[in-house]
Structure 1
Amino acid sequence: MNRNTPLSPSPVHEVSHRVQSAAQLRARGVTAAQTAAQCLPGGPWQQLLPGVYLLHPGPPTNDDRVHGALLYAGRPPAGARRTVPAPSGPGYGEAMVTGLAALSLYGFASAPTVIALHRIDVLVPRTRRLRSTRFVQVTRTAAPPRPQRRLGVPLAPVERALADAVTALTDASTVRRILTEAVRGGHCDPVSVVRELNDAKLLGRAHVVDAVEALLVEGRAVAEAGLYAMVRTHGLPQPLWNVELSLPGGGSLGGVDAYWPEQAVALELGSRSARQEHVVFAAERERLARLGVTVVRVSPKQLRDSTAQLSVVLRTAMMAAEDREPAAYVVVLPR
């Protein structure tokens, strides 16, 4: 067979991506025998993974390795009814990149480049019976999350990718760096990261616990910086920062992150788990509301994504104070 002649009525050089699965090649009319012949020593193709081929004789690039890993993990399970994929279709199924490889593709500076990784972690449904092979590490989950797409590549959400990365890491400084970057870079908030680490049963590891403590401190600092910026950028009155409210005769009413005494408006940054926030914040809000104090709760995510909307909420609460009964006198102390 002349390797310079087209292998099918739709020549392979028209394929949009140079990494193709066996099913995609068959859809273009390329037989298994023709594929094997192209992959002979010195040939123009090579087998990248089982059932996945690199239509180029050189080393695979980052893009080739990621695309190949997803094609391998996304192939139909054995015995399943096979549908012929479109020749240019991705063929990823429910597979998505996770772990350090996903963090690298999200742009984490603390994660190595994909090409430098010994493996690419790919998340698939638990029902898949797929073996890890070569540079692909298969991770199974009972409840696959909704993937995020970057340049067409399905990635596990940052929180899940972090948990899968931490599972394989034993170096405390590396764990701390990637968790800190996740919050500092605005990828996610600390509560969601801790929840995912807990679900993965990683909070029993000493080096992970230490990193989580640093993460919560970092998350708090980032959220406070966002709060200061919101007040300054949107021209809100300067509040009293980080204060404790109490009754004149004693009895704490709780701490708040910002308090406007003239309008009796308090703001609290959400930093607890969802259940704790629902129970604790509801009690604090009810107690302060009886005294005429309006409490606004702000999550770190809202500070990242909706500062203009939050500034309107706060300004509206301050304006509404003019129509309310004067608030009871409360003592304000530094926290």
Structure 2
Amino acid sequence: MTRTSLEALERELGVDAVTVEARLNGDDVALSEPLVAAVEQYEAVVGTRDPYLWHWLSAIFPLFRLSCVPTASHDRVLEQKVLLTMFITLLDDVAERDGDRATFEEARKVPFPAEQVDTDRDDVDGELVEFAQWLWDRLEEGLRAAPRYEEFVHVLRFDLRQALNAIDYSLLVNECLDVATLGGCEQYDVHNMVVFSYVDIDLLHSPDFDRRDNGELREAVWDAQMMARIGNWVTTWERELGEGDYSSGIVVYALRNGIVDIDELRGDEPTVEELADRIRNHGVEEYFLTEWETRYGGLKAGRLDAHSVDLDAFVEGMRRVMAYHLASRGKK
């Protein structure tokens, strides 16, 4: 199989970084007042993410929003998805950047009413956990007002647990690099993209969605979530490598195929840039870009069909998300 090059995929997708930047700086992706307040709070408490990320998310979420979401709910759905991503990003940073297992284990309890959060537990950063609770409370308030909250909230909570397990898996990999496998990335880490949960939020707000279409929809989301993860891996692995986060599928592939080894990743030599050059020169990105094209082609083949939601539009949205990933490489 001929591997897809980064340049070839960029041409195919029509990536235009200038156009992406213009849209991100335009009024159509201006953050709502509640989101501005949440970003300001995030910066005050955490302060580790460029605000570019939140504008980028506000630009891409409408691209793959389900067609069954009524126009009147678009702004609410967007706001809830950004708040959810802030919550996940906070926990992701606590786990992958800080390696703070104690704080992560408390914060991951926040969305689940039956679990008791203990901010006074030894080694727990209580301020971060309280901020996680603050974010979730604002998200939950909006979700409860959705017309199908009671019908779909148990699905949302299940899918959210998978996203939190993905963060836990990344934390485990960074603690014990010898457990890292490509299969683990594909089975666990891919849920870090939270696409299932984003779809759940759409369904909470979709009175006309027919639950008989749910199986077909979720089949599509499996591939779409992997496509999103590949876009994220290909455009963030270099930054993460420099931060000492080795859980990216790019780095794990290189590790499992003898391109790098654990001692090199953990040591001072070779340098991060030398390791990154080696990974680039071995075509690791191309391996994943080819996988992206395979999954995209499978979805475009029309093997899935639904009546109350436009799956073709959803797939096309994921193609455009990949274009945004490539155009914003190194900025998020």
What TM-score, normalized to structure 1?
0.22
Larger Rg: 1
Higher RCO (Cα < 8 Å, 6 or more apart): 2
Instruction: Give the number of the structure whose residues are more often helix, by fraction.
Output: 2
Instruction: Give the number of the structure whose residues are more often strand, by fraction.
Output: 1
What TM-score, normalized to structure 2?
0.22
